[in-house]
Amino acid sequence: MNLAKFPRRGYVTNPTPIEYLSNFSKALGGKVNVYVKRDDLLPGCAGGNKTRKLDFCIADALAKGADTIITCGAVQSNHARLTLAWAVHEGLDCHLVLEERVKGSYRPDASGNNFLYILLGVSGISVVPGGSPMLDEMEKVASDLRVKGKKPYIIPGGASNALGALGYVACAQETTEQLFRMGLDIHAIVVPSGSAGTHAGMVTGIYGSSADIPVLGINVSRTKETQEELVYKLVRQTSELAGVNHNIPASAVTCFGDYVGPGYSLPTEGMIEAVKLLARTEAILLDPVYTGKAMAGFIDQVRKGAFPDGSNLLFLHTGGSPALYAYLDTFK
């Protein structure tokens, strides 16, 4: 793989830390050693994993002469926040198409990411019902803007296409280099699995580097079977783009679909416990939609003895803590 041939904007300047969570490990019984990759500390407004993907996607937009970015997400989308933030940084307009996946959940005066959209000066927000064809909805916005003389560029939800997933191919390479320098043998990497770009990129990068570390996804919105199919489809596309010179088998993609609860973005008891436990043992904030549910699944797997005693386990923290402030009632 030679990722240097792909244009980037240089948003990721330094490796994010890998930290040992000693107090958290003890709270889980002390039988496994839990580490965290702090992608919540990536540059960008309030940080998060989408910065790695946007590094590639916005470079492509600028190369194609775009003056406006259009993207989509749920009503409290971290991806929408970071896309808007980097568009502001680049002097580009940004229009958001928000999917109301839970009917009645969009409130223009809400806290969390909704507040940040306004603070950052979003150019326009369109809200569509859950289940809407989001690419079609973004194309409607793009068509209107073209009539006005603008040059829009559409970034899919989560920046989860093959180009965006290269950001996590690079992260996988970064991670293996860090682990080598630390002399740390990791037995599994656990990631939130949503729009699939982060998960697919990590699988492609780890497998393409022959690192032989399982990458386990904890689903936030779909069943195991549906999510594994989605992730593997993107793995194939990403590996082809990145130039991985051997086929990655479907068995490289493992997802757990038991922790979604009643639906995407809807709280679960496990999520609440996970957010509180990490905050009160390590002073690290998770988010209620992605990392909170992923950590809930991780905790449950540890408690069930899914990992041998003494295992070194790495949790990829993809950020998203601003969404916490839209869930105040959940944590009271």
215-239: pLDDT as tens digits: 999 999 999 999 999 999 999 999 9
> Which residues sit opposite 254 in a β-bridge?
216
CATH T-level topology, domain 3-48+162-331: Rossmann fold (3.40.50)
d(CA 207, CA 245): 11
Q: Which helix (H) or strand (E) holds 141?
A: helix 134-147
Query: Which tokens sit at 134?
Result: 């989001």
d(CA 271, CA 32): 20
Q: Name the residue among 165, 217, 224, 158 with its Cα closest to residue 192.
A: 217
Angle at 178 between CA 86 and CA 57, to 5 degrees: 25
pLDDT tens digits, 252-279: 999 999 999 999 999 999 999 999 999 9
d(CA 36, CA 315): 5
Residues 95 and 40 sit within 8 Å (Cβ to Cβ): no
pTM of the model as a whole: 0.96
Query: Which tokens sit at 309?
Result: 């005693």
What are the C-alpha distances in Å from 36 to residues 18, 20, 122, 188, 305? 6, 7, 32, 12, 19
pLDDT reported for residue 298: 98
Mean pLDDT for the stretch of residues 32-44: 98
Query: Which tokens sit at 326?
Result: 């839209």
> Which residues sit opposite 72 in a β-bridge?
97
The catalytic site residues sit at 77
Residue 190 φ then ψ, to 5°: -110, 130
Residues 66 and 93 sit within 8 Å (Cβ to Cβ): no
pLDDT reported for residue 201: 98
pLDDT tens digits, 43-98: 999 999 999 999 999 999 999 999 999 999 999 999 999 999 999 999 999 999 99
Query: Which tokens sit at 123?
Result: 């150019």
State the span(s) of the chain assigned CATH 3.40.50.1100.
Answer: 3-48+162-331, 50-159
pLDDT reported for residue 246: 81
DSSP for residue 232: H
The separation between CA 307 and the C-alpha centre of its own chain, rounded to angstroms, equals: 24
Q: Which CATH class is domain 50-159?
A: alpha beta
d(CA 265, CA 260): 9
The sign of the dihedral angle between the CA atoms of 38, 41, 44, 46 is: positive
The sign of the dihedral angle between the CA atoms of 110, 116, 121, 127 is: negative
d(CA 186, CA 21): 14
Least confidently predicted of 88-92, 110-114, 184-188, 313-317: 110-114
